[in-house]
Amino acid sequence: MASKAQIKAAARPKPVPAPAAALAPAQAQPEPNLLRAPIDGLNPEQREQARVALLATIQESIAGLHTCRLQDVAQFVDIVENDAGCTTPAESFITSIVNDHYREEGLTPELAAWEIERPDGFRISFRDAIDTGKRFNAMYPKLMNARQSPKPEPMKEAAAAQPAASSESPRRHERCHSENMAAIASRLSEFTNDFDSMRLLAFIDILQDESGLLTPLEHLVTDLVGEYCHRGVTPEYVEERSQDFRQEFEEAMRLTRLFTAEYADSIKAAPASAAA
């Protein structure tokens, strides 16, 4: 026979679960940072969404750029399209340091030096590419001599033909701007690799932030892209430019410390950077 305590327990009303509508809504997942998100970790649906978002952001970002900056973007598109790893050492080096800036804690002189001197870095890859070219030409002289000279790369041809911005007439400036926009749009339509789109968006972000010596990383990357399109990037140029980068980096740190100490309250009150 049940006890009084058991009878009371059975008669006590049981708690009714809250209806689904009353439950706290699930926290919305934050939008991934397209400049830093690991694309290779996304599923096919997410990759397609990222691709659409990347292309839309690129188109929006370049719309208001100056003609010279558009040319920089076109040059970087050319570099990304021609990047085939260690067989294209200059292209691989430039895209690597852009990736380092967004996937690491920011490009430092030490990280740039490592990209040059590591076992499969720029210096060794550049030397190997020269050796490979010599061997190929020696092995297939008839084939190489019979082959027609390659047509000039459109981006490099435009870089060589375009005069300094200060000497442009308004009409020529407008024409160059339109031509650069058309060239970029044409290349973007051929992009099928999400990584390429992400690297291009990263370069546009660097380009928009570039302020010469005050932004040493941005200054280095834009210089390398310009050198690539005008004369070609060599280990000697990178080594010389890396020394400048180290000096600019240390000076930027010094000035930032001074500014931070002088305007600590203003920095604390400022809104967080969207790029962080």
What would the pLDDT profile of 62-106 be if each residue is shown by its tens digit? Answer: 888 888 888 888 889 889 988 888 878 899 999 999 988 887 678
Could you give the dihedral angle defined by the CA atoms of residues 173, 161, 231 and 164, in that order, rounded to the nearest 10 degrees? -40
Q: Would you say 210 and 201 are in contact if contact means Cβ atoms under 8 Å apart?
A: no
- Give the Cα separation of 223 and 236 in Å (integer): 14
Q: Which of 32-46, 150-164, 224-238 has the lowest mean pLDDT?
A: 150-164
pLDDT of residue 37: 76
Contacts of 64 (CB under 8 A, 6+ apart): none
Collapsed DSSP state (helix, strand, coil) of residue 184 = helix
pLDDT of residue 151: 46
pLDDT of residue 8: 44
Token code pair at residue 142: 């008839």
Whether the model clears a pTM of 0.85, i.e. scores above it, the answer is no
Token code pair at residue 258: 């001074």
pLDDT of residue 253: 81
CA neighbor of 33 nearest in space, from 53, 48, 60:
53
pLDDT at 229 over 50: yes
